[in-house]
Amino acid sequence: MELLDAFRRAEVTPSEILEDSFARIDAVNPSVNAFTALDFVKAKQQAQVADAAYASGTPRALEGIPVAIKEIFAVEGMPFTGQSLTRKGVVADCDARVVAQLRDLGAVIVGTTRTHELAWGITSQHERLGGVCNPWQPDRVAGGSSAGSAVAVATGCVPLAVGTDTVCSVRLPAACCGIVGFKLTHSTLSLDGVLPLAPSFDTVGLLANSAQDIAYVLDALGVVESKILEVAPVVGVVRLAHSVLITDEQRFAYRDAQSALEEVGCSFQPVEWPHGMEVSQVFGTIRDIEALESHRKALGSWPDKRDLYGSDVRARLENAESVTDADRAQATIEFDRLRTVWNAALEKVDAVLLPSMSGKPSFVADADNVEINGTTIPFRDSVIPWTCSANLLGVPGCAIPIGPEYFQSVQLLGRRGEDASLLALAAAAQRALTITRVPHLQ
């Protein structure tokens, strides 16, 4: 990471960078609403420890790097509400496992970031608690559910943020904010101390400006080896099916991504990769069953605290109560069929290229709907049909920005456990693209 190199060369100190981070947060957070809480005292203490480590020549792998944490992770002494009134006043008494690991490596935890309520939604809006705004176009949403983390990186408040991805919750905010979002292979990083949604799909993810930076962090955590692209991968390409509307801008992004990948030595092969509303419905049934169980037992808030939920999450829980045993059985059958096709595709290629979403983020004024080619559809229907296969399979996925137009993004999906190879491919594609963007908020 460039910032670590600057620390080592004594061009700047961790304390100076932290002051810059807090100043940037003060400048932009009132407009974008990315952060829920800041930990000035502990962060400054951590930065001073980092200063001393560099002065003595004993820095740890992430010494002095400012990091923001999605507020469904426990961060000791900080609010642990998941942006839900059902958990009002809850404060974490210890760090989540991932947060503790980052601290042990020298990272400076700056604060916690906003999420869609209890990570169940893709707009990160709440009628009583407010919402996150897009840094490129503030009248649009920043995606979800890890929106605050994505905006914190996109606006230059921190170089790294932590989120979770159950259906798209790291990749979509990254796509909406013009940065990189990486979902690891399921269960690679611990979810201890993280509020659950659907445990079969919940996955830790990271957000940064480059795939290479994410690879470095995961290497430091000991879960993904940081490496350069050493082979010429075969990338699977899909037919952009008419069953999912998609704008010309996103089609162009898909084409441009192929050009960038070809430049770094990739070849291409058409693959059958089921995506679309049918896949989304299978995912939704299984997720709803698990989410209802999480809210009833792990969170203990449903149905006793029904009236404290935001209207959208409350409606999802009510809908989940109507899922029958027959629905569950049919979804399981369909999932087994889909998994067979997906696995067959991944046997032929090293990665699969997909759009990250069908169009632009929705407007805050009508966050649940978006216009695609003149047709208004639910925002979720422009996203989840592309993203949920990675969660159903438990494979890694990486969203990267494509082209000069805001909100153009693609995602690369890899084989289970081959996170390092996927990040190397994404990093190579990024270098070929050489995109530079400046957020709307200065």
- Could you give the residue numbers annotated as active site? 70, 145, 169
Tell me phi and psi for residue 2, to 5 degrees: -60, -40
Number of CB atoms found within 10 A of residue 198's CB: 21
**17-23 contacts at long range (C-beta below 8 A, 24 or more positions apart):** 17/47, 17/64, 17/66, 18/43, 18/44, 18/47, 18/64, 18/66, 18/108, 18/110, 21/66, 21/110, 21/157, 21/158, 22/110
- CB contact set of 419 (below 8 Å; sequence gap of 6+): 182, 184, 185, 188, 218, 223, 224, 396
Cis amide prior to 145 (ω within 30 degrees): yes
Q: Reduce the DSSP state of residue 255 to 3 states and report it.
A: helix
CA 441 from chain centre, in angstroms, equals 21
Query: Which residue(s) pair with 43 in the sheet?
Result: none
Query: Which residue(s) pair with 1 in the sheet?
Result: none
- CB contact set of 120 (below 8 Å; sequence gap of 6+): 145, 197, 291, 313, 316
Tell me phi and psi for residue 230, to 5 degrees: -110, -10
Query: Which residue(s) pair with 354 in the sheet?
Result: 411
Instruction: Dig out the tokens for 59 from the structure.
Output: 């820095």
Q: Reduce the DSSP state of residue 110 to 3 states and report it.
A: strand
- CB contact set of 225 (below 8 Å; sequence gap of 6+): 219, 420
How many whole angstroms separate alpha carbon 144 and alpha carbon 158? 18
- Residue appearing with tokens 């990749």: 171
Inter-CA distances, 93 with 96, 110, 433, Å: 10, 17, 44
